[in-house]
Structure 1
Amino acid sequence: MTSNKYDHRKEAVVVNRRGLHARAAVKIASLAEKHNADVNVISNGVLAPATSIMSLMLLAAGPGDKLCFEATGADALLAIDELTSLVNSGFNEDCDGCYGKK
């Protein structure tokens, strides 16, 4: 489910307890919109535009699921670096009991 048109690709694992819920989807979409890049997110073989909150929520990614970010454009590398950092941080939520965290 990947396209050859993307210049950069990076994965992150969902660690927060609630997974890719509405607030997390808004954070991804808002961050993706700030960059001059076309970014997609892939989870469990399903692709979603990173700027579409509804599409992101429909990925139904839960704790332990991988999100693969693909991007092209002037800010592609910066965009996916920031997006994977956001996911790895648990979307800046309280991570007591987060997946893979002790």
Structure 2
Amino acid sequence: MDIEPLDNGDCPPAPIPEGALVRELPIINRKGLHARASAKFVQTVERFSSEVTVTRCGETVGGRSIMGLLTLAAAQGTSITVTAKGEDAEACLDAIAELLANRFGEDE
């Protein structure tokens, strides 16, 4: 299922580390990137060795930090920019994209 990312308004572009792969992903679940969703995000990232960052509206955090992800306040209808750098970066981004497309396993 292809989901079009939503516009984040006047937010500055995300910094992209040299050699990193990038995906802009929409937050479609009703509760956004809340604590349980952030924990699932981190669990997904930890299956891979790539370095992952997540950016929303100019704020960038590590993809392995639940608290960092929560500070992004990524509500339903916003989008996040995820970068991954490493040998398994593409597989990592695919897994993250699938997690978000499946609403973190939530019903809504």
Task: Note whether the superposition's TM-score is higher than 0.5.
Answer: yes
- The reply to whether residue 62 of structure 1 matches residue 62 of structure 2 is no
Instruction: State the 1:5 CA deviation.
Output: 2.3
- The 1:35/1:14 distance shift into structure 2, 3 A limit, reads same
- Percent identity among equivalent residues? 33
Query: CA RMSD for the aligned pairs?
Result: 1.1
Unaligned runs of 5+ in 1: 96-102
Instruction: Verify the 8 A CA contact 1:12 1:66 in the aligned structure 2.
Output: yes
Unaligned runs of 5+ in 2: 1-13
Residue type at the aligned position of 1:41: V
Instruction: Verify the 8 A CA contact 2:63 2:69 in the aligned structure 1.
Output: yes
Residue type at the aligned position of 2:56: S
- The 1:55/1:48 distance shift into structure 2, 3 A limit, reads same
Specify which of 82, 85, 88 is matched with residue 95 of structure 2.
82
TM-score (norm 2): 0.83
**Equivalent residue pairs, number:** 95
Q: Superposition pairs for residues 1-102 of structure 1, below 5 Å?
A: 1-95=14-108
| Secondary structure of residue in 1 paired with 2:55 | strand
